[in-house]
Amino acid sequence: MAKDSPLKDKVVLVVDDEPDVLETVEEELDMCLVHKASDYDTALQYLLSYTYDFVILDIMGVNGFELLKNSVSRGFPTIMLTAHALSPESLKKSIKLGAVTFLPKEKMSELSSYLEDVFTGGGKPVWQKLFDRMGGFFNKRFGPDWKEKDKFFKEFEEELKNDLNK
């Protein structure tokens, strides 16, 4: 896979307070150059010192939303990867703060495929693809009517559909 992947030689920062998650992501992205940080301060130094093709952030334990703000302000396509903060509220906050996608840690084995979507989309958000691919998973996790319960998601989905029709 590594030879044919559009992710070959991309520079990625992965931030998570769990060493096994950092190792798993590094293995999943073996075609990339991966920088790893396990805390907020180290991650912030990396963000300020290097240029990244992608940044992958945990939410809990590393102040992921603050790091997301920094990463987005530097223009890095940023993916939120979470287990404990897997909720409609975290998804909404990730969208509002500029993440390009949001992935549950239990789907880490699909990470390179999601990054390829972002890369082939020019680093732009891939929310429609995420909702298409993860809709059933989110419905099981959040309840079948989770999008209807929050006006934000209804409006956001309308925007996505309008963008596709342009």
CATH topology of domain 11-164: Rossmann fold (3.40.50)
Give which of 12, 19, 87 is closest to 56, Cα–Cα: 12
Tens-digit pLDDT profile for residues 36-60: 999 999 999 999 999 999 999 999 9
CA torsion through residues 138, 14, 89, 116, sign:
negative
Q: State both tokens at 34.
A: 């991966």
CA–CA separation, 27 and 43 (whole Å):
19
Tens-digit pLDDT profile for residues 117-151: 888 887 788 888 888 888 899 999 999 889 888 99
The structural domains of the chain, with segments of one domain joined by +, span: 11-164
pTM beyond cutoff 0.85: yes
